[in-house]
Structure 1
Amino acid sequence: MTNLRLLEQFRSFYFKNYPDDMESMIDYFSVFGGVDWQIDTTKDIKELVLELVLENFDALYDKVQELTLGNKDYKRLLRALAVGDRRIFSAFNKAGLNNGNGGAALNYLQEKGLIEMEYSREAAPRKNSPNEKLKRSDARHRISHKVFFTYPFIRFWFYFISPNFKYIQEEKFEKVLEDFEQRHNSYTSLVYEELCELLLNYNLRDAYIASSGSYWDANVEIDILTTTQNGKIYVGECKWTNHKVNKKELHKLDDKCQKLGISPTQRVLFSKRGFSKELEAMAGVDLALYTSEDLKVLVKNNSRENNAKMLFS
């Protein structure tokens, strides 16, 4: 499911702050996206986390408390969703919630506009093999939907700030910043994945998209799987790493497609820092390669006027 609200926020952030390049844009947006702040993107991101978040912790804490009604179930679920695999059932378990109180928390957070559902496209085992006896593992397998955060800043808060309340209250900010530095790259990868889906669907804008989003089942996970009404299939993997993506990643994606039993119209790789020469030589009709700079197309042809809904100013 394409997060159109994220696209509006991305555009708003760009025209408000004009970062030097798209890599910086993604880095800063993954933290401060969704809040209507002027961000000095010439400063190191850790310095901004210190100035804008940690040193304003009390005021921001009160605003987050207001959004969540101070409810412990709501906050536990947001934290579990932020640091986990985004699957609802695993988040319930991590948060110590059951289907009753977990479902109530999920409903509230959806109604409040803090999260949105990403529905699984996995076929039930019984549907695939209606007359066969299921394996025990298949019979026990529960199809679980996922959740994505409507505002990057809320996920940032429950990924880095909420788990470090003790250090923040003791003003041991260096502990929080150290944690941020160590995990910032892996944290950013999800926002990058969501933005890459927006880019792919933007480039397919003349096609009628039937379904889009990540794909997961008991055996396979693919970052992006987009299908069109005329039967075309696009599969993508996104790598937010500091090295160039090589042919190995393409082989992994091909293996996933084989397990899933699909023959994609086009395979698409997205990379923060580019690709090996061998992979670049393979690019063509059935293989598209995009770097973070290619995301600029999402903002360059759009007006500065934007109606993105923000959390708080």
Structure 2
Amino acid sequence: MTNIKLLEQFRSFYFRNYPDDMETQIKYFSIFGGLGQDVDTSKPLAQLIEELILQNFDTLNEKIEQLTLNEPNNKRLLNALAVGDRRIFSAFKRAGLNNGNGGGTLNFLQEKGIVQIEYSREAQSKKISKHRISHKVLFTYPFIRFWFYFIYPHIKEIKEKNYENLFKSIEDKKNSYTSLVFEELSEVLLNYNLRDAQIISSGSYWDANIEIDILTLTDKMEIYVGECKWTNHRINKSELHKLEEKCQKLEIVPFQMILFSKRGFSKELKNMQGKNLALYSSDDFEALLKNASHTELIESFI
């Protein structure tokens, strides 16, 4: 279902900072969403990361340690969830935890409101393979995910004021990092546009062989499937073919397929838009700001 908390944070971030366009909004929100500070989105990201995070590192690190009780297992699992595939069992393995202490750690992080579980819908599929189904985890606040994706792995260097490897990592992985927030917001946008329908189930879909960014089912048994691409080039017809192949393997016939793109679409894809195919680029996310109050500033994780 629509992630109301993320939508509220997205709106709050916009009305607090008024970025020039939606691409900038999404890019900066994916890092600073939840930080609860004014963000001058006219400045380069690297400059803002240094000003808002690195220059305030001691204060922010203390707040993170309070949030996690400075417990190593909590921080290792958050790092594993941030940089991995979000699947619970693989995150336990990456963090060096077993099902026992890993489960206890995950429960604590849920209770603190740091993460939330995205439950697998594989059992709802016609094709159920014989393997252990693993649920996934989403971060409640983009900034905490940024911290454990980029800051935590370089924390010793940062304490020594050595930022070279940190900024290299951010530059190399920034699109990959932003992709998840873009995917979450894309689901929010799709569900917003389906607000007159009764949504039964919505979220990403995964099993042992197939992953689909968004799969939404309505009470009329209409299936909407979507793929999200946060890349610096326009999406072409090949991405539509890949999504069609996934639907065939899953043995579903979608009512509509939706592609979400950072930078738009090829002319060929645009000509194919219609009842069966919808295309959304960054500018379309402005719809999420409609009917929103610009007086509510609620995005801080503190």
TM-score by length of 1: 0.94
| Residues 188 and 240, structure 1, Cα contact 8 Å, conserved in 2 | yes
Aligned-CA RMSD value = 1.4
> Which secondary structure does the structure 1 equivalent of 2:200 belong to?
strand
Give 1:210's aligned residue.
200
For residues 295 and 202 of structure 1, what CA distance do their matches in structure 2 show?
10
| Residues 2 and 197, structure 1, Cα contact 8 Å, conserved in 2 | yes
| CA deviation after TM superposition for structure 1 residue 301, in Å | 3.0
Give 1:93's aligned residue.
93
Superposed, 1:294-309 pairs within 5 Å as 294-306=284-296, 308=298
Letter in structure 1 aligned against 2:254:
P
Letter in structure 1 aligned against 2:77:
L
CA offset digits 1:101-154 (Å, max 9, x no partner): 0000000000000000100000289x968xxxxxxxx44x11000010000000
CA offset digits 1:175-225 (Å, max 9, x no partner): 211211111111000000000000000000000000000000011000000
| Residues 203 and 216, structure 2, Cα contact 8 Å, conserved in 1 | yes
| Residues 272 and 292, structure 1, Cα contact 8 Å, conserved in 2 | yes
Give 2:157's aligned residue.
167
Give 1:186's aligned residue.
176
Q: Within the alignment, does 1:11 sit opposite 2:14 as a pair?
A: no
User: Which of residues 141, 147, 169 in structure 2 aligns to 1:151?
Assistant: 141
| Residues 263 and 281, structure 2, Cα contact 8 Å, conserved in 1 | yes
| CA deviation after TM superposition for structure 1 residue 309, in Å | 5.1
Letter in structure 2 aligned against 1:119:
Y
Give 1:61's aligned residue.
61
Q: How many residues align?
A: 302
Give 1:134's aligned residue.
none
Task: Give the 4+ runs in structure 1 shifted more than 4 A.
Answer: none
**Unpaired segments of 5 or more residues in structure 1?**
130-137
| CA deviation after TM superposition for structure 1 residue 169, in Å | 1.7
For residues 232 and 296 of structure 1, what CA distance do their matches in structure 2 show?
25
Q: Within the alignment, does 1:36 sit opposite 2:21 as a pair?
A: no
For residues 3 and 103 of structure 2, what CA distance do their matches in structure 1 show?
22
| Residues 237 and 270, structure 1, Cα contact 8 Å, conserved in 2 | yes
> Which secondary structure does the structure 1 equivalent of 2:38 belong to?
coil
Give 1:263's aligned residue.
253
**Unpaired segments of 5 or more residues in structure 2?**
none
| Residues 210 and 246, structure 2, Cα contact 8 Å, conserved in 1 | yes
User: Which of residues 260, 276, 285 in structure 1 aligns to 2:266?
Assistant: 276
> Which secondary structure does the structure 1 equivalent of 2:56 belong to?
helix
For residues 96 and 238 of structure 1, what CA distance do their matches in structure 2 show?
31
For residues 124 and 238 of structure 1, what CA distance do their matches in structure 2 show?
23
| CA deviation after TM superposition for structure 1 residue 171, in Å | 1.1
> Which secondary structure does the structure 1 equivalent of 2:14 belong to?
helix
| Residues 16 and 297, structure 2, Cα contact 8 Å, conserved in 1 | no
| CA deviation after TM superposition for structure 1 residue 274, in Å | 0.3
| Residues 5 and 308, structure 1, Cα contact 8 Å, conserved in 2 | no
For residues 206 and 306 of structure 1, what CA distance do their matches in structure 2 show?
25
For residues 43 and 108 of structure 1, what CA distance do their matches in structure 2 show?
37
- Give the fraction of aligned pairs with identical amino acids, expressed as a percent: 64
| CA deviation after TM superposition for structure 1 residue 308, in Å | 2.9
